[in-house]
Amino acid sequence: MERILLVDDDVHILHTIESWLTPKGYEVLCARNMAQAMNIAKSTALSCIVLDVYLPDGSGVELCERLRQTSRVPILFLSAYNQEDDRIRGLLAGGDDYLGKPFSLTELELRIRIRIDRYRGKETLGVLHFDNLEIDLDSRHVKNGTQYGSFSPLEFDLLAFLATHPGQVFSYEQLYDRVWNEPMNQGLHNLQMCMARVRQKLNALCPGQSYIETIRRKGYYWKNNSDNTKSTPY
């Protein structure tokens, strides 16, 4: 059984996450401040730590730095302050991932599982590189240099699917079948709107680059802008 430590001063969040993870087979321990978290981490073998950035008795970033002195257990930051500086500080302190509030419990559990699998040495999905654009399929991060993009879970899935099949044109029906997983009659317009948001965010993150192209009445494809593209199967 994997043992997860949740560190947050919000009792409701602790209870919500614990209620979600426990039926899935995780053992969940809870701490509401740095002192409690350090006591648990020193005396208990952990599989992953889910850590709030701001705690009553200090900074989650500081706690991460202290934990990293003796442990490489995966640490996932969870915070309402989903700002770029906070993400970078957390990652530089040794954090493995960062998820902003409000969040999807399904995505949180997926990220926990991915980090534990990587920690255990299991196979990972890898990272895609297109010029300076980096798409981390495990942590689900998208960045250009030091700048991170903010994509919803579905937006990331669409982006990652196209990026792992460069040059291939996918129809709306194919994207629904492989990514959206909903019947087409529930709205082609929804897919088009979601794809428009993905392209807008990608263009803002990578000015002057056009990665996703539209083929009229056929669909979308990922355009290679560099001969140095590296790809990993998705």
Q: Which domains does the chain have, with CATH numbers?
A: 3-119 (3.40.50.2300), 127-222 (1.10.10.10)
Asked whether the predicted pLDDT for residue 215 surpasses 60, the reply is yes
Confidence of residue 34 (pLDDT cuts 50, 70, 90): very high
Please list the alpha-helical segments (H only) found in 69-133.
84-92, 105-119
pLDDT at 29: 95
CA dist list (Å): 116 to 4, 14, 67, 113, 164: 10, 20, 17, 5, 23
- pTM, whole model, 2 decimals? 0.54
pLDDT at 32: 95
pLDDT at 232: 40
pLDDT at 114: 86
- State the average pLDDT for the chain: 83
More confident residue, 187 or 31: 31
Asked whether the predicted pLDDT for residue 133 surpasses 90, the reply is yes
Asked whether the predicted pLDDT for residue 223 surpasses 90, the reply is no
Asked whether the predicted pLDDT for residue 211 surpasses 60, the reply is yes
